Amino acid sequence: MNWKNLVAAAILATLPFAAGAVEPDEVLDDPVLEARARGISKVLRCLVCRSENIDNSNAGVARDLRLLVRERLTTGDTDEEVIDYIRARFGDYVLLKPPFKPETYVLWLAPAALMLIGGIGVIGILRKSGGTKVVNELDDDEKRIVAEILASEKKERV
């Protein structure tokens, strides 16, 4: 197999990932509206997958939401109106980046708080362990024992 075939196979293999989950029957005829729909779909969370936007999700709910977005756009809604319409029905959870408000403070602040707590814990453990220990010098008896051991090893080698 030559390199051209390998490149073609690699491109064909990655096309499904580049296209997302939007199916051909969902695509709007107007490219401007379609671009707006894709932009909105990238900020809305799939309610089934939870970590994917609806543009990339193959779940049935995501498809329904994509169709709803396109339907609202064709009726003349702005991007904000479409997002507000969906948010009114599903709550802030449907947004991949929820707003910073009292109900979502935990979402925004928990990672920083956990990092701070972890850092304090690590510092506490390091301080408790005492860091580096100072080694005292050998006394005369210890020096004599070490000298005897070294002398006996030297005799064994010869």
Q: 39-50 b/e with 16+ CB inside 10 Å = b?
A: ebbeebbbbebe
- Convert the pLDDT of each residue in 102-146 to its tens digit: 988 888 899 999 999 999 999 988 888 775 666 778 888 999 999
Q: How confident is the model at residue 18 (pLDDT cuts 50, 70, 90)?
A: very low
The strand pairing partners of 45, in sequence order, are: 53
Please tell me the predicted confidence (pLDDT) of residue 153.
Answer: 85
Q: Distance (Å, rounded) from C-alpha 71 to C-alpha 74? A: 5
Query: Which domains are seen in the chain, by residue range?
Result: 3-99 (1.10.8.640), 104-157 (no CATH)
Q: How many CA atoms lie within 13 A of 55 on its CB side?
A: 18
Q: Are the C-beta atoms of residues 22 and 8 closer than 8 Å to each other?
A: no
Q: Give the residue-averaged pLDDT of 149-154.
A: 88
Q: Is 141 or 27 the better-scoring residue by pLDDT?
A: 141
Q: How confident is the model at residue 13 (pLDDT cuts 50, 70, 90)?
A: low
Q: Are the C-beta atoms of residues 57 and 49 closer than 8 Å to each other?
A: yes
- Convert the pLDDT of each residue in 36-95 to its tens digit: 999 999 999 998 887 899 999 888 999 999 999 999 999 999 999 999 999 999 988 899
Please tell me the predicted confidence (pLDDT) of residue 51.
Answer: 83
Please tell me the predicted confidence (pLDDT) of residue 82.
Answer: 95
Geometric angle at alpha carbon 80, from 74 and 86, rounded to 5°: 75
DSSP annotation of 138: P
